[in-house]
Chain A
Amino acid sequence: MNTTPIGHNITLAERAYRIRRNALLMGEVQGQGYIGQALDIADVLAVSYFHAMSYRPEDPDWEERDRFMLSNGHYAIALYAALIEAGIVPQEELETYGSDDSRLPMSGMASYTPGMEMSGGSLGLGLSLAVGRCLGLKRKGSASTVYTLFSDGELDEGSVWEAIMSAAHYKLDNLIAMVDVNNQQADGPSTQVMAFEPLTDKLNAFGWFTQRIDGNDMDAVVAAFDAAKAHPEAKPRMIICDTKMGKGVPFLEAREKNHFIRVDAHEWRLALDALDAGRNA
Chain B
Amino acid sequence: MSAPNTPAAGKPKLKTSAMIASIAGEGQRTKPAPFGHALVELARSRPEIVGMTADLAKYTDLHIFAKEYPDRFYQMGMAEQLLMGAASGMAHEGMMPFVTTYAVFAARRAYDFIHQAIAEENRNVKIACALPGLTSGYGPSHQAAEDLALFRAMPNLTVIDPCDALEIEQAVPAMAAHQGPVYMRLLRGSVPLVLDEYDYKFELGKAKLLRDGNDVLVISSGIMTMRALEVATALAVDKVDVGVLHVPTIKPLDTTTILREAAKTGRLVVVAENHTVIGGLGEAVAGALLRGGVTPIFRQIGLPDEFLDAGALPTLHDRYGISTDAMSATIKGWLG
Question: Which positions in A face B, CB cutoff 8 Å?
Answer: 109-111, 117-119, 121-122, 124-125, 127-137, 139-140, 142, 158-159, 162-163, 165-166, 169
Contact = CB atoms under 8 A, between A and B. Distances in A.
Contact of B85 (A110, A142, A158, A163): A163
Contacts of A163: 82, 85-86
Contacts of B82: 128, 131, 159, 162-163, 166
B207 to A, nearest CB: 31
Nearest to A131: B86
12 contacts: A118-B117, A119-B117, A121-B116, A125-B113, A128-B117, A129-B88, A133-B90, A135-B90, A140-B94, A159-B85, A163-B85, A166-B86
Contacts of B77: 162, 165-166, 169
B93 A140 contact: yes
A160 to B, nearest CB: 9
Interface string B51-87: 0000000000000000000000010110101101111
A131 B85 contact: yes
B196 interface: no
B248 to A, nearest CB: 29
B85 A136 contact: no
Contact of A119 (B81, B86, B87, B121): B121
A136 B95 contact: yes
B85 A125 contact: yes
B101 to A, nearest CB: 13
A117 B89 CA distance: 10
A128 B89 contact: yes
Given A136-B92, A163-B86, 16 more contacts: A111-B121, A117-B92, A119-B116, A128-B85, A131-B82, A131-B85, A132-B90, A132-B92, A133-B89, A133-B90, A136-B91, A158-B81, A159-B79, A159-B113, A165-B79, A166-B86
A181 B91 CA distance: 30
Nearest to A118: B121
A116 to B, nearest CB: 11
B303 interface: no
A119 B121 CA distance: 7
- Majority SS at the chain B contact face: helix
Contacts of A166: 76-77, 79, 82, 86
A72 B60 CA distance: 34
B81 A133 contact: no
A25 B126 CA distance: 42
A159 B86 CA distance: 11
B85 A132 contact: yes
Contacts of A121: 116
**Candidate in A111, A125, A128, A131 with the most chain B CB atoms within 10 angstroms:** A128
**Candidate in A117, A132, A139, A162 with the most chain B CB atoms within 10 angstroms:** A132
Nearest to B87: A132
B83 to A, nearest CB: 8
Contacts of A169: 77
Given A159-B82, A166-B79, A136 B120 contact: no
B253 interface: no
B244 interface: no
Interface residues of B, number: 27
**Candidate in B92, B93, B116, B121 with the most chain A CB atoms within 10 angstroms:** B93
Contact of B79 (A118, A124, A162): A162
B319 to A, nearest CB: 36
B92 to A, nearest CB: 6
B50 interface: yes
Contacts of A134: 89
A103 B113 CA distance: 23
A197 B101 CA distance: 33
A169 B237 CA distance: 61
A129 B117 contact: yes
Interface string B91-124: 1111100000000000000001101110011100
A188 B81 CA distance: 26
Contacts of A142: 93
Nearest to A163: B82
Contact of B93 (A119, A136, A159, A165): A136
A62 to B, nearest CB: 14
Contacts of A119: 116-117, 120-121
Nearest to A134: B89
A110 B122 CA distance: 10
A210 to B, nearest CB: 20
A109 B117 CA distance: 10
A94 to B, nearest CB: 25
A204 to B, nearest CB: 20
Contact of A139 (B50, B87, B117, B120): B50
B251 to A, nearest CB: 21
Contacts of B120: 109, 111, 119
**Candidate in A121, A166, A169 with the most chain B CB atoms within 10 angstroms:** A166
A129 to B, nearest CB: 4
A159 B81 contact: yes
A66 B7 CA distance: 71
Query: Shortest 10 CB-CB distances between A and B: which pairs?
Result: A132-B89, A128-B85, A136-B93, A132-B86, A133-B89, A162-B79, A162-B82, A159-B81, A129-B89, A132-B90
B110 to A, nearest CB: 9
Nearest to B75: A169
B85 A137 contact: no
